[in-house]
Amino acid sequence: MNVRDKFNLEKLASGKEINMDPLWLPFTPNRQFKASPRLIENAKDMYYKTSTGKSILDGIAGLWCVNAGHCRKPIVKAIQSQVEKLDYATAFNMSHEGAFRAAESITNIAPSGLNHVFFTSSGSEAVDSALKIALGYHRAKNDGQRHRFIGRQKAYHGVGFGGISVGGIVPNRKMFSSSLIPGVDHLPHTLNIEKNAFSKGEPNSGVELADELENIILLHDPSNIAGVIVEPISGSAGVLVPPRGYLKRLREICSKYKILLIFDEVITGFGRTGEAFAAQKFQVTPDMIVFAKGVTNGTVPMGGVIVNSDIYNAFMHGPDWAIEFYHGYTYSGHPLATAAANATLKVYRDENLFERSNELSSYFEDAVHSLKGLRNVVDIRNYGLMCGIQFLPIAEKPSQRAYDIFEKCFEKNVLVRPAGENIALTPPLIAEKKHIDIIIDTLKWAINSSI
C-alpha cells in the first residue's frame, strides 16, 4: 500500500461511522466515554447541539472560557477574515500588527502598572512562562539565588512540569511525583467547611492562613524565594474563595521580602468576577497576571503573562542586538489568536459584559444557595459568576457523586462541571436569569435523584 492510500480519507469523511479508538481524550475516563460518547456538533450563544440533536444549556462557558457565549458573529468573522489575510507569522524576529494591538488592549484593562504582555498558546504554557520570567527577573537584578517557588494546596496551574509542581491537586501530581521541579513549597489551602460552610462571597474566617507564607519564607530564608503563585479564586478545586483580607496579606508579605506575586487568572480573568481581573475586584495588584481562556472567548488557543514595568525593564538590558529572554512558542501571538482576542475584547466592551456579570452575580448567588439543605450538599461557595457545590463523598468511590450528578444533568440537557467532590458552575456572562433558573432546577433534580 502506498502512503497516499494510507490516508484513507474517503472512509474518514463525515457522515461515516466514527472509529473511537485512535483518539485519547484528556482528563476523561476514556473507556466509559467511548462506551457512551457525548458528541457536540455545533453551538450558539448559551447552547450546544449534540450529534443526537439535543440542545444542551452550557452552565460552564465551555470550560470557563466562552464568556461571551458560543459562535459569536463578530469573533467568528474576525477569525475568518484574518485566516484569509495572514494565516501565520513567526513571532521570532517578526511580528504583525494584531499582536501589538492585542497586547495593548489587554494592558488597557489590566490593573494599572501591569503593562507588558508575553503571549503563549495556553494557560499551562503561560504558568510555566511566568515561573521562568520570575527566575530571569531575579538573575537580571543580580539576585539569581532566588530560585524557590511557593504555590498552594489544591491549586490548579495547568499541566506543564512547572504548573503541576506549584499546583496542589494530588491526582495531577501523583504519577509525576519523581519529576516535579525542585524548590517548591505549598501554602495551606483556604477551604474550611467547619467554619465557613455556605459563605456568600468571601468567607470571614481564615485570613491568618496567609501568615503561613511568612513562615515558609523564613524557613528557607527570604533571599532564596523567587515567587509566590496563587489563583485569586481556586477554580478547579471547586471554587475556593479567599478569606476576606487574605490576598492583601499575601501581597504585603511578598512586598516585604521582594518576592514576586503571581496571580493565575486563567479562570478569573475577563469578567468572571465582575471586573476584567479578580486583582481589580479584590484590589490587590500582583507583579504578574497569567491569563488564557476568556481572552479569545475560547475560540483560538491563547494564553499569556502580563508583567509590570519593573520586570519588563529588568530584561531590557545588555547589548540591543541580544535576545533578552530565551523563551517563546511557535504560536506566541498567532495571528488567528490575536484577531480573536481583539474581536473578543470588543464584544466584552460593546456589550458591557463585565458589568453584566457583576449585576447578575447577586441573582446567581441566591439561586445557587437555594441548593442548601439538599441531600449530601455540604458546602456552597460563590463569587461573581462562579460557584462550587460540594457533596459528601461516597466511601471508597471518590468523585463519584459529583460525576453522577454531572451525567444526570447532561441527560436533562444541562452541562455542569464535575470537579472532585464538587460541581462547578460558571455560565457565560451573557446568561439571563431564565438560564440560571434552568441550571438550578436541573441540578436540584439531579442532586435529589443522585446516588
Least distance to ligand PLP from the beta carbon of 318, Å? 31
In angstroms, rounded to a whole number, what is the distance separating the alpha carbons of residues 15 and 309? 53
Containing 84, the helix (H) or strand (E) segment is helix 73-85
Least distance to ligand PLP from the beta carbon of 11, Å? 32
Least distance to ligand PLP from the beta carbon of 329, Å? 12
Least distance to ligand PLP from the beta carbon of 158, Å? 3
In the complex with ligand PLP, the residue whose CB is nearer, 70 or 152, is 152
In the complex with ligand PLP, the residue whose CB is nearer, 240 or 438, is 240
Contacts of 221 (CB under 8 A, 6+ apart): none
Would you list the DSSP string of 393-423?
A: PBTTBTTHHHHHHHHHHHHTTEE-EEETTEE
With CA atoms as reference, report the closest residue to 404 among 387, 386, 385, 423.
423
> Are the C-beta atoms of residues 410 and 226 closer than 8 Å to each other?
no
In the complex with ligand PLP, the residue whose CB is nearer, 148 or 157, is 157
> Are the C-beta atoms of residues 400 and 372 closer than 8 Å to each other?
no
In the complex with ligand PLP, the residue whose CB is nearer, 160 or 335, is 160
> Are the C-beta atoms of residues 435 and 364 closer than 8 Å to each other?
no
Least distance to ligand PLP from the beta carbon of 432, Å? 25
Joined grid coordinates for residue 212 = 503561613
Would you list the DSSP string of 88-112?
A: ---SSS---HHHHHHHHHHHHHSPT
Rg (CA), the chain: 22
Cβ-proximal residue to ligand PLP, closest one? 123
Footprint on this chain of ligand PLP (rule: CB under 6 A)? 122-124, 127, 156-158, 231, 235-236, 264, 266-267, 292, 303
End-to-end CA distance of the chain: 52
In the complex with ligand PLP, the residue whose CB is nearer, 61 or 314, is 61
Least distance to ligand PLP from the beta carbon of 2, Å? 38
Least distance to ligand PLP from the beta carbon of 125, Å? 7
In the complex with ligand PLP, the residue whose CB is nearer, 253 or 278, is 278
In the complex with ligand PLP, the residue whose CB is nearer, 266 or 443, is 266
